[in-house]
Amino acid sequence: MKRRLLLVSNSTLHGGGYLEHCQQQIKEFFGQQVKRILFIPYALHDHDAYAKTARDKLKSLGYDVDSVHETADPVQAVRRAEGIFIGGGNTFRLLKSLYDNNLVTEIRTRVLQDGVPYMGSSAGSNVATISINTTNDMPIVFPPTFSAIGLVPFNINPHYLDPDPHSRHMGETREQRITQFHEEPETPCVLGLREGSMLLVEGQKATLLGSTKARLFQRGKVTVDYEPGTDLSWLLTDAH
């Protein structure tokens, strides 16, 4: 399998600018072989403004950006792409637009068979997994299915937040919501990516990167925290 993925929890880290906290990983990921990146802005309503934000930042890192919403044929744009970046926003809106434009299968083929590098942040990381069932977003639109692109055999929860023992908020914690997800049968494990963390996947190897730990939730098992630098390649098998 040729897949190369950079799945980032968040686009902006407190105290920094857009993609600033992961810009070194982005440059190492896309390298010098990729000259142009296809940006998919479907997760936000204002595609033009979102594309400008991504274009300005990636241009500063040495990459030209084409936005899929600017082309008359999104499928052909994906087929020609040297690299793909799907940004964050509303996961339901993003997945619906990917299906509406017939891009789910196209992206899966380009990444898994052709080895086109795929970067996602937040919602863009959610749609790279089995399903969007562990997103934090509200279902403002209804995609035809919650099944996502399926580039990895597990789910992600971006922006994972630890329970605050001093909070007076009486709603469910993120951990409780993921536990509820695992109360249903045949649900995959969930990697909770705290802000500042990201997962690098190269073929059958997966490595946790960034400045914060990630928490892994498995149905019927105790949760485990992993430090940046941890080899999580075993998550890419079906054995877990």
Distance of CA 47 to the CA centre of its chain: 18
- Of 113, 116, 84, nearest in space to 1 by CA: 113
- Of 22, 48, 14, nearest in space to 120 by CA: 22
Q: Is the pLDDT of residue 163 over 90?
A: no
Q: Locate tokens 């099944």: which residue?
A: 147
Instruction: Check 21, 47, 137, 197 and give the catalytic one.
Output: 137
CA distance 210 to 196: 6
> In degrees, to the nearest 5, what angle opens at C-alpha 94 toward C-alphas 92 and 98?
115
Instruction: Check 122, 125, 131, 197 and give the catalytic one.
Output: 122
Q: Is the pLDDT of residue 238 over 70?
A: no
Instruction: Tell me the CATH number at 93.
Output: 3.40.50.880
Which residues form the domain of 17? 4-236
If one counts the domains in the chain, the total is 1
Tell me the pTM. Answer: 0.96
Predicted confidence at residue 164, as pLDDT, reads: 78
Instruction: Check 69, 159, 182, 240 and give the catalytic one.
Output: 159
pLDDT tens string 38-64: 999 999 999 999 999 999 999 999 999
Examine the residue annotation and report whether 100 is marked as an active-site residue of this protein: no
CA distance 104 to 130: 12
Examine the residue annotation and report whether 137 is marked as an active-site residue of this protein: yes
The continuous run of DSSP H or E covering 225 comes out as strand 224-226
